[in-house]
Structure 1
Amino acid sequence: MKSFAKRALFQALRVALVAVTVSLAVQTYLEGWKKPQPVVIESRVEINETFQPKLPTEETPPLKTLWESIQNDPSLSKFAKLVGEFDDIVGGLRAPKAQLTIYAPVNEAFDKEEFPYDLPWFYWKFLVGYHMGKGGVSAQGLRSQNTVSSFVNADIFFKNQQRISVQDNADSVTFNFGSKMISSQPAVNGHLHIVDRLLMLPDSAADVLRYTPSLGIFRQGLIDTGLAEVVNDTSTHMGQTLFVPTNAAFQQLGPKVNAFLFGPGGSEYLKALLAYHIVANETLFSDVHFPAKNGEQVVFSRETATHPVEMPTLAGGHFISASSILESSTGRRTLAVNDEWKVSRPDIVVMDGVIHEIDAVVLPPLMQGDGQLGKQKLDWWSIVKRTMNLDGGITVEELMERLQPLIESEGSSR
């Protein structure tokens, strides 16, 4: 309980730095309703016309506003009471011309969480703001979304909104890997999705790594090399992207390589290897990019099948590439790292960026003849051998050769 209270208090204090974000987001959006606005539909294509609800017939009752829908549902009374504390948010939910998406937790969802009794008012406002976002996204539309936006700010510059991760399972849609959509209904000003768990404000990357056993080797490596201080200290970066290999991915390297990396003679190589998986000051989701230098977020177009992004890592600035690839069969996007490995569990939203779980340890490309890093193209048998750890995986000598340029770059930058 102490650890939870400490994390909740830390979240609340960080929230205090930008406590007006939700109000500003709602008020700014309300200002736009004074004139016709494009309506955002699930395919993220915009139609330049004002939203016109369908006229009711004898068979179909008239649509309610989102606020009316929430108030009239007894299973949402706790959420309605919480939202009702904030007049500016209620005003947005009442506005007929708005287009919003609400993820409303049922009453039982509140009983599944533990809250310290002394959380300040702005924590609750941010919690409410994380359960809604601009644009109307239907239940069917969610199945082709990787992430959706909330009204909570992702940084102190008021440019990028924190995302909610969406998973399309065979029988349901879930959010942030834990909150299941129970039902959905349209409203005159958007869509209301009822969920069985609260969408808690995201934990820090440090907390997510700490409480995910399958990522324990990566976390231990961060601690051993001192990189944990960089990753965990949110004051040193404005967003970050972590490609985190699973424990099984490290085991694929083979016992000799792991003994070397985590032994006394391999510490600098381990640091270079892990640093190559970390990008500071840029947050790359599978469908949205928050660039460095306070740049505006980039939503990947559905008209373009592949969106490659190259980002400097903590390994002496050496770049890692990630391509967002649109899958035609599902309409969803996947991330391919260095044109070689697909991310297995994407878009783990954290307070200070995003984590992508990957089933392989990503090695930098091979050196070309001119001394520059080049793309490595593996044949199918090489990929099979690495995936199944045939022949004992990569050798220690091969690993050292691949990582040496990163170590030299790090040394020259000091």
Structure 2
Amino acid sequence: MKPFTTRVLFQVSRVTLVVVTVALAAQTYLAGWKKPQPVATNSQPKANESPIPPLTLWAQIQNNRNLTKFAKLVGEFEDIVGGLQAPKAQLTVYAPIDEAFDMEDFPYDLPWFYWKFLVGYHMGKGGISPQALRSQNTVSSFVNADIFFKNQQRISVQSNPDAVTFNFRAKMLASQPAVNGHLHIVDRLLMLPDSTADVLRYTPEFGIFRQGLIDTGLAEVINDTSTHTAQTVFAPSDTAFWQLGRKVNAFLFGPGGRSYLKALLAYHIVANETLFSDVHFPAKNGEQIVLDLQSASNQFFLPTLARGCNISASSARQSDGSRRIILINDEWKVSRPDIVVMDGVIHGTDAVILPPIMNAEGQLEKQNQNWWSTVSRSLNIGGGITVEELMERLQPLIDSNE
């Protein structure tokens, strides 16, 4: 069976579990997609004004000969069609062209709710213009991001001078304003997000990080979605590990360094909280917090799996004010932010993040320290961090049972 097919079947089984175990919540969620009542509008043109009937999102989808497959799929769900027809609804639709469906290998006879979730992941509340998209790090969809049916799954947005893309794969080809929002036409489907485990498995640049998770048993913690409601993973690239130096890597991945490797990797994992560049899903089923683009910085101290030691993550505005970036411990910039996954988010980093050092009282130093010495060692400036220095840094985070 192809890897893609395996992942889709896993998604279906997980969705089935959610539907079965929280049926009442599912009914409440789907009730929000019921067909709205007709809205009376004054469509009479003013004197000397040519009548130009505005098109709804549904009319635009139906009238576009490049969107016939998407239109057919959406048309299976009358409640969704009703929302796209409502003149006063403000929605954004990311509509894949017909050729996009040919690029995917869907398993045969998927259940109806999979297709409904897939359609729902291609639209969200609010009319977001193409200009506004360039200042967005993520946008919301209609698919639930947690088992509590409280927060909506995000779609990550990448902006460069040539194009806007979504989830690092779907390129925006064109945009059309509608009377009830915006229609963005894309060249790939926005597939329902994979699990954290799948993304790490099929992303070559995270190979060393994934192998370390397997060697230390942390892979079981990340993979078992029954043990967490969400998670944020700061995933160092293979290059980041190479920058630690040959001796350090030989120690970490040797038999004597297993407990130190576990502590190091655990410091990169936050359970039950999801922090995107511009939205935070707090722990304990809290309401999502949308970060204000105008604020200079929003700082969060997130408890990691490394004996609860906090990692500092600051969502800061870029110098040009257009988008937000994440700084870790006030020094390391996330290099590949907002990799959306089924159970949280992954942020790719170009450095292995080391915990702060201990102070004279035996307590962890606050996060806002001058980290240049640590940076220089982790980047191999002046020879890189030594094994002895690394052991000293990680010793307080090692589980006494290891």
> So what's the TM-score if we normalise by structure 2?
0.92
Using the alignment, how far apart are the partners of 1:105 and 1:296 within structure 2? 31
Supply the AA of the counterpart residue of 1:14.
Answer: R
Which residue of the other structure, out of 114, 119, 140, is the alignment partner of 1:123? 114
Which position in structure 2 is the counterpart of 1:28?
32
Using the alignment, how far apart are the partners of 2:262 and 2:372 within structure 1? 29
Establish whether residue 11 from structure 1 lines up as the match of residue 11 from structure 2: yes
User: SS at the partner of 2:226?
Assistant: helix
**How far off its partner does 1:17 sit?**
3.6
Which residue of the other structure, out of 69, 74, 82, is the alignment partner of 2:65? 74
Supply the AA of the counterpart residue of 1:28.
Answer: G
User: SS at the partner of 1:124?
Assistant: helix
Using the alignment, how far apart are the partners of 1:161 and 1:307 within structure 2? 21
Supply the AA of the counterpart residue of 2:145.
Answer: A
Establish whether residue 208 from structure 1 lines up as the match of residue 212 from structure 2: no
Query: 1:239–1:143: structure 2 CA closer, same or farther, 3 Å change rule?
Result: same
**How far off its partner does 1:23 sit?**
7.4
Which residue of the other structure, out of 243, 253, 256, is the alignment partner of 2:234? 243
Which position in structure 2 is the counterpart of 1:43?
none
User: SS at the partner of 1:234?
Assistant: coil
Range 360-369 or range 174-183, more displaced: 360-369
Preserved contact between residue 218 and residue 266 of structure 2 (Cα < 8 Å) = yes
Query: 1:360–1:201: structure 2 CA closer, same or farther, 3 Å change rule?
Result: same
Preserved contact between residue 26 and residue 149 of structure 2 (Cα < 8 Å) = no
Which residue of the other structure, out of 355, 361, 379, is the alignment partner of 1:370? 361
Establish whether residue 275 from structure 1 lines up as the match of residue 266 from structure 2: yes
Preserved contact between residue 246 and residue 358 of structure 1 (Cα < 8 Å) = yes
User: SS at the partner of 2:255?
Assistant: coil
User: SS at the partner of 1:296?
Assistant: coil
**How far off its partner does 1:15 sit?**
1.5
Which position in structure 2 is the counterpart of 1:134?
125
Which position in structure 1 is the counterpart of 2:171?
180
1:253-264 matches, cutoff 5 A: 253-264=244-255
Query: 1:57–1:332: structure 2 CA closer, same or farther, 3 Å change rule?
Result: farther
Establish whether residue 105 from structure 1 lines up as the match of residue 109 from structure 2: no
Q: List per-residue Cα deviations over 1:362-402 (Å, max 9, x = no partner).
A: 00011111111113634657645643x12321001110011
Dislocated runs of 4+, deviation >2 Å = 1-6, 16-35, 54-63, 375-387
**How far off its partner does 1:16 sit?**
2.2
User: SS at the partner of 2:105?
Assistant: coil
Percent same amino acid at aligned positions? Answer: 69
Query: 1:60–1:305: structure 2 CA closer, same or farther, 3 Å change rule?
Result: farther
Q: List per-residue Cα deviations over 1:14-37 (Å, max 9, x = no partner).
A: 1124458787557437799999xx
Using the alignment, how far apart are the partners of 1:357 and 1:186 within structure 2? 34
Using the alignment, how far apart are the partners of 1:158 and 1:55 within structure 2? 45
- For structure 1, the residue ranges without an aligned partner over 5 or more in a row are 36-49
Which position in structure 1 is the counterpart of 2:86?
95
Preserved contact between residue 38 and residue 86 of structure 2 (Cα < 8 Å) = no
Establish whether residue 147 from structure 1 lines up as the match of residue 135 from structure 2: no
Preserved contact between residue 157 and residue 294 of structure 1 (Cα < 8 Å) = yes
Using the alignment, how far apart are the partners of 2:8 and 2:330 within structure 1? 39
Establish whether residue 336 from structure 1 lines up as the match of residue 327 from structure 2: yes
Q: List per-residue Cα deviations over 1:78-99 (Å, max 9, x = no partner).
A: 0000000001100100000100
Supply the AA of the counterpart residue of 1:7.
Answer: R
CA RMSD of aligned residues (A): 2.6
Using the alignment, how far apart are the partners of 2:288 and 2:208 within structure 1? 32
Supply the AA of the counterpart residue of 1:168.
Answer: S
Using the alignment, how far apart are the partners of 1:87 and 1:132 within structure 2? 15
Preserved contact between residue 26 and residue 89 of structure 1 (Cα < 8 Å) = no
> So what's the TM-score if we normalise by structure 1?
0.89
Which position in structure 2 is the counterpart of 1:86?
77
Preserved contact between residue 34 and residue 79 of structure 2 (Cα < 8 Å) = no
Preserved contact between residue 25 and residue 151 of structure 1 (Cα < 8 Å) = no
User: SS at the partner of 2:59?
Assistant: helix
Supply the AA of the counterpart residue of 2:63.
Answer: N
User: SS at the partner of 1:356?
Assistant: strand
Query: 1:383–1:205: structure 2 CA closer, same or farther, 3 Å change rule?
Result: same
1:277-356 matches, cutoff 5 A: 277-356=268-347
Using the alignment, how far apart are the partners of 1:255 and 1:60 within structure 2? 72
Supply the AA of the counterpart residue of 1:4.
Answer: F
Supply the AA of the counterpart residue of 1:308.
Answer: Q
**How far off its partner does 1:133 sit?**
0.3
Supply the AA of the counterpart residue of 1:5.
Answer: T
Supply the AA of the counterpart residue of 1:335.
Answer: I
Which residue of the other structure, out of 387, 391, 398, is the alignment partner of 1:396? 387
Preserved contact between residue 36 and residue 83 of structure 2 (Cα < 8 Å) = no
Query: 1:34–1:396: structure 2 CA closer, same or farther, 3 Å change rule?
Result: farther
Q: List per-residue Cα deviations over 1:33-59 (Å, max 9, x = no partner).
A: 999xxxxxxxxxxxxxx9x9x999979
Query: 1:191–1:334: structure 2 CA closer, same or farther, 3 Å change rule?
Result: same
**How far off its partner does 1:403 sit?**
0.3
Preserved contact between residue 91 and residue 180 of structure 2 (Cα < 8 Å) = yes
Using the alignment, how far apart are the partners of 2:50 and 2:219 within structure 1? 60
Supply the AA of the counterpart residue of 1:377.
Answer: Q
Using the alignment, how far apart are the partners of 1:23 and 1:184 within structure 2? 33
Q: How many residues align?
A: 394
Preserved contact between residue 241 and residue 279 of structure 1 (Cα < 8 Å) = yes
